Amino acid sequence: MYALLSQEGNLYLIEKPGTYNYDEGMVEVKEHHINNIPSYVNSSKGIRFVLFEPYDIDLFEKSFERYAQIIHEKDLGYLMRRLSLNKNAVLLESGSGSGHATIFLSRLFRHVDSYEKDKRFYETTKRNILLFKVDNISLYHKDVIACSKTNYYDAILFDFKDACNIRYIEKAREVLKPGGIIIMYFPVVEQVMEAINNLQQAGFVNVSLREILLREWKTKPFRPKNIMLGHTAFLIEARKV
């Protein structure tokens, strides 16, 4: 896969050399352009394109197959900072959904075990992992309750409806290393209240609750945009002693 970024700021992904037609005109990508990336190609309308290997952000914006509700990037960014543990750390994640958090978090961990119980979501995540060429993820088509690696994980990310249930919180305590960290992502306050109650009951400490707000601005003229993203989800964090 290769990326073509035009002077106008439009980005396109291509698979191989060939002739491509865009609003900016016809672009002929030859073998020598590919062999010399980053390289430049002019379109039939004289607009310059740069050809390069796409970054994750390009693959995500252009080719990521989205099926389930993904963790919003404003939350994922914060979460990635909290889950930057060390280069040997291992993560348990559930559910995989479309694999959005799975793929970006895999950059931070030595290994990620990701559980997804729904076949369609499991298949979607599998395709997205292939697209991003990630090789440190084990994807399981199973309920996460089946995970049986006692005291094994440095961190857990739970993003599924029933994760607030005591069964799943007890499971998290069983598989997490002492000192390990759990982060849970819930859109609804009732789930948050149940999860916090159950985390405390299961002996987790340093339980904290956050919501992250993002305000985008226009740059012409400089002012906040009128419409703001109202709510995505709450982030709960806790440690196992």
Q: How far is the CB of 151 from ligand SAM (least distance, A)?
A: 20
Nearest-CB residue to ligand SAM? 95
- Range 139-152 burial, b when 16+ CB lie within 10 A, else e: bbeebbeebeeeee
Residues contacting 153, CB < 8 A, separation 6+ = 90, 91, 92, 113, 175, 176, 177, 180
C-alpha dihedral (83, 141, 133, 69), degrees to nearest 10: -60
Residue whose CB is less far from ligand SAM, 162 or 211:
162
State CA 120 to chain mean position distance. Answer: 18
Give kind and range of the element (H or E) at residue 166.
helix 166-175
Among 185, 53, 79, CA closest to 132 = 53
Residue whose CB is less far from ligand SAM, 143 or 174:
143
Q: How far is the CB of 101 from ligand SAM (least distance, A)?
A: 4
109 φ, ψ (degrees, to nearest 5):
-115, 155
Q: How far is the CB of 22 from ligand SAM (least distance, A)?
A: 30
Q: How far is the CB of 114 from ligand SAM (least distance, A)?
A: 9
Question: Which pair of structure tokens corresponds to residue 89?
Answer: 């750390």
Considering only residues 179-238, where is the footprint of ligand SAM by CB under 6 A? none
Q: Does residue 159 touch ligand SAM according to CB under 6 A? A: yes
- Of 6-14, 23-31, 154-162, 206-214, the window that binds ligand SAM (rule: CB under 6 A) is 154-162
Q: How far is the CB of 178 from ligand SAM (least distance, A)?
A: 24
Distances from the Cα of 159 to the Cα of 5, 100, 101, 142, 204, angstroms = 34, 11, 10, 15, 18
Instruction: Kindly write out the interface string for residues 114-133 of this chain, putting x where it contacts ligand SAM by CB under 6 A and - elsewhere.
Output: -xxxx--x------------
Please identify which residue in the block is written with the tokens 């964090």: 237
Residue whose CB is less far from ligand SAM, 27 or 137:
137
Considering only residues 58-87, where is the footprint of ligand SAM by CB under 6 A? 68-71
Considering only residues 90-109, where is the footprint of ligand SAM by CB under 6 A? 94-95, 97-101
Total residues interacting with ligand SAM, rule: CB under 6 A = 21
Query: What is the spatial distance between Cα 114 and Cα 153, in angstroms, rounded to a whole number?
Result: 12
Summarize as ranges the residues that interact with ligand SAM (CB under 6 A).
68-71, 94-95, 97-101, 115-118, 121, 143-144, 159-160, 162
